[in-house]
Amino acid sequence: MNLIQRPRRLRISSGIRDLVRETELSPRDLVYPIFVVPGVHIKEEIPSMPRCFHYSVDQAALLAREIAERGIPAVEVFGLPEYKDEIGSSAWDMTSPVQRAIAAIKEAVPELIVIGDVCLCQYTSHGHCGELHDRYVDNDATLPHLVQTAVSQARAGADIVAPSDMMDGRVAAIRSGLDAEGFVNTSIMSYAVKYASGYYGPFRDAADSVPSFGDRRQYQMDPANVREALKEAALDMDEGADIIMVKPALAYLDVVRQVYEATDRPISVYNVSAEYSMVKAAAANGWIDEQRIVLETLTSMKRAGAKIIISYHAMDAAAWLNV
């Protein structure tokens, strides 16, 4: 046959495939999320998230060194507090595990970027992401609490704060609050496009943040909507977001691509807990090649437009990529 075009020529060897590869995944693309808890010398596996752990602050600082050694540039810190109340005041308590872990990690590994999750669901006695008035999450009453939380994390040493609450106007409020306290160089990575997803189940186990009633559909987005995602991203950019996140990642790669094409800000995605745990379960049963599936999945997220990938697979992925 006289074929002029033979695309297989560029797939004929590993060297040629490497030469023409369009998307390269690197440990530098990854962020590792960790969960910190009260106490000392604690490292306890989370039942629904194999090989993910609750860490006390001292253990988190040790882990930070390993994260940096694998070439991962950043960690996102979530926490379980020593106490909960109606407004989630432990979220901005400087003696809470998150604030103490941020400070300890920055002391142990100053070059590691530390991201603080800004939300109230782990800290409120009712498990919702804001202050309640008659079983309704009061948007405007919640904003000052989010500002206090973000400022406390910046004061502890966070390089980036990441509001994940989905309250309207919170990026502008946090930017104003940070600037007023002198934290003009603390970046905001906004969970701008956060869906009310079934993929969060294991995380809520890990963070002890299941709502005591109802769900979060009054403030998180409808999974059926994409134009709304573009609106949310545009609003957060106008309010001063430095990085725009789409969460979850895997079932929303079409949204990631559209947000990427609509904005000039770096895009982050969250490869969330159920996405992780499903892979772990299938791998444990011998149904899949875990390494191949994980690297293919993370590459798809970068190919869709993500510059930053937050993933519980990050430690394993970095080890595989560094071989």
Q: Distance between CA 52 and CA 33 in Å, rounded?
A: 9
Q: Distance between CA 119 and CA 59 in Å, rounded?
A: 23
Q: Distance between CA 254 and CA 98 in Å, rounded?
A: 33
Instruction: Exactly one of 43, 106, 231, 247 is catalytic; name it.
Output: 247
Instruction: Exactly one of 43, 84, 106, 194 is catalytic; name it.
Output: 194
Beta strand 160-163 pairing with 187-194: parallel
What is the residue type of 51? R
What is the residue type of 255? V
Residue 280 annotated as catalytic: no
Q: How many CB atoms lie within 10 A of CB 211?
A: 15
Q: Distance between CA 49 and CA 31 in Å, rounded?
A: 17
φ/ψ of residue 183, rounded to 5: -95, 55
Q: What is the CA radius of gyration of the chain?
A: 20
Residue 106 annotated as catalytic: no
Answer for the pair 97, 55: CB distance below 8 angstroms, yes or no.
no
Q: Distance between CA 160 and CA 95 in Å, rounded?
A: 19
Residues serving a catalytic function are: 194, 247
